[in-house]
Amino acid sequence: MTTALRETSVRDVSVFGDAIAYFNEAADLLELDAGMRRILTHPSRQIIFSIPFQRDSGEFEVYTGYRVQYNFARGPAKGGIRFHPRVTLDEVTALAFWMTWKCAVVDLPFGGGKGGVTCDPRTLSANELERITRRYAAELVEVVGPDKDVPAPDVNTTPQVMAWFMDTYSMHVRQNIPGVVTGKPLEIGGSRGRVEATGRGVTICALDEMAEMELRPDNAAIVIQGFGNVGMHAAKLFEERGCKIVGISDVTGAYYNAEGIYVNGAMEHAAKFGTLEGFKGGEKITNGELLASDCDVLVPAALEKVFTAETAAKVKAKLIVEGANGPTTPEADRIFRERGIVVIPDIMANAGGVTVSYFEWAQDRMGFFWKEAEVNERLEDFLLSNLHQIRSIANSRKATLRAAAYTLAIDRVVKASKLRGIYA
């Protein structure tokens, strides 16, 4: 295992490099000194290693594994592991940078982390995937753990992958340590409510802001771009609260119905066919048309950078709730502000998942597990208490909710850093 020595420029990352622009805006509001800015824009640790493994055919392959632990000021690093052929150190560093603020904005006792392996799980058998996961975990045994770094699922990783990771780590340290990862199956220390947590968090934040805007749920038309885990659960929960879902989409296209889409029907169709292709509950339109369609609330819950200067000018929604990571470019964000469109930023709106991951970590350490209703109640309390602080900062500073969210997150990390001091 080697530690990467080169400095990584997160500006080079096409998706999450925008976080630097948002960081700088908040740092200016806080009048953050140059020294602290330098500290907070450099990762604590970057790790690169080779993962040799043997295919079922007997052939040998070598993949590259990464783990970036960006900041430890508030606690152990926290962030997912992604398996994708295009994983790079720059990407993982940028995601770990972003996770630092995501954990801080909801006041979790974690820093930011992220990891990945340059493989394509679609080309791997279950046995090959297990061998890669176990080798990846073994390479990180010395630097992960409940008090060091707590990985979780991300792109192309699953509860089963987390189970293999946990088992490998536990075998190396010769004791059962379920708290080394989150997102595990319930049977080995996972938390109830984790699967729906991100979508539930989106709904909780949206409904609270709608109340602030005096937009009643039974009068609200909702469009959700993306009908995966986040979008699907958000749609279901919005519908349960009386909202009308008028638009949904996936990779096959978008579907719009001004009279309302029956969410259970869409879920059943997606479960049966794997996509929304052929769904009859709405008129098929393009994803671009969906973003510009008539609605009160728009939830981007799929792709990054869907809102550019061009698309932002066409949005008709009064409120945007970012279920996806990085859906809005800084240029689009300025347009939304000029047009008076409220945006609940990704680091707040989709923090439900990492919050329930924190609950899982806490339950594992106690050896005592909560009922789902208790998980959901605690989630709502965490999210709303911090959203209200963000709103207060935005009002007092005449700033956007995004700038206020980054301000709150950065301020918390700065205070922790200064209290701990710089060890030299």
Pairing of strands 149-153, 283-285: unpaired
What pLDDT does 5 receive? 36
CA distance to 74, 111, 131, 262, 301, per residue, from 70 (Å): 11, 7, 27, 43, 25
- What secondary structure does DSSP assign to 99-162, as a single string? HHHHHHHTT-S-EEEEEEES--GGGS-HHHHHHHHHHHHHHTTTT-BTTTEEEEE-TT--HHHH
Helices marked H in 287-351: 287-291, 309-312, 330-339, 346-349
The rounded distance, in Å, linking the Cα atoms of 219 and 287 is: 24
Q: Which helix (DSSP H) or strand (DSSP E) does residue 318 occupy?
A: none
pLDDT in tens, 370-410: 999 999 999 999 999 999 999 999 999 999 999 999 999 99
Determine the average pLDDT of the residues in 216-237. Answer: 96
The rounded distance, in Å, linking the Cα atoms of 138 and 130 is: 12
Contact 105, 408 (CB under 8 A): yes
Eight-class DSSP state of 418:
H
Confidence of residue 325 (pLDDT cuts 50, 70, 90): confident
Mean pLDDT, the chain, integer: 94
Output phi, psi for 299, to 5 deg: -115, 100
Confidence of residue 16 (pLDDT cuts 50, 70, 90): low
The rounded distance, in Å, linking the Cα atoms of 171 and 134 is: 11
The rounded distance, in Å, linking the Cα atoms of 153 and 196 is: 14
Contact 13, 91 (CB under 8 A): yes
pTM confidence score: 0.92
Flag whether pLDDT at 142 surpasses 90: yes
Residue numbers annotated as active site: 114
Beta-strand ranges (E) seen in 253-401 are 253-256, 283-285, 297-300, 319-321, 342-344
Q: How far apart are the first and last CA of the chain?
A: 25
Domains observed in the chain: 2-8+43-188 (3.40.50.10860), 191-424 (3.40.50.720)
Of all residues in the chain, what percent carry a pLDDT higher than 70?
96
